[in-house]
Amino acid sequence: MADTSGAMRSAVALTYQETDVAPRIVAKGKGFVAEEIIAKARAHGVYVHESPELVGLLMQVDLDERIPPQLYVAVAELLAWVYRLEQEGDGAPSQENSPLSLILGK
């Protein structure tokens, strides 16, 4: 019997630069598209984080739109953690003045 639990993979890509008002959605998708987003991110050293609740909320935001104020704290905490990883040399390589990117999957 096929799995009908609705466990289709989803992914949302965020980017943030210091000059931005808020992080922006630069890619999102489900199923095959989500798998491709995650694969390309990993191939380019972009951090991938699993957060089903946050992905569900961010999937409602249109492409190229800033995240809503209600999600600022959750996304800021996650981006700060990724930034610390990069600064410690444990995360993806980061170039000076380059945007901080993050892929969220579920």
The CATH code of the domain at 10-105 is: 3.40.1690.10
Confidence at residue 38, expressed as pLDDT on a 0 to 100 scale: 92
Average pLDDT for 38-51: 88
Confidence at residue 81, expressed as pLDDT on a 0 to 100 scale: 84
* Model pTM score: 0.77
Q: How distant is the alpha carbon of residue 29 from its chain centre? A: 11
Average per-residue pLDDT for the chain: 82
* Residue 34: exposure state from Cβ atoms within 10 A (0-12, 13-18, ≥19): buried
Q: Give the span between the Cα atoms of 3 and 60, in whole angstroms.
A: 24
Q: Give the span between the Cα atoms of 81 and 87, in whole angstroms.
A: 10
Q: At 30, phi and psi to the nearest 5? A: -125, 160
Average pLDDT for 30-51: 90
* 34: three-class secondary structure by DSSP: helix
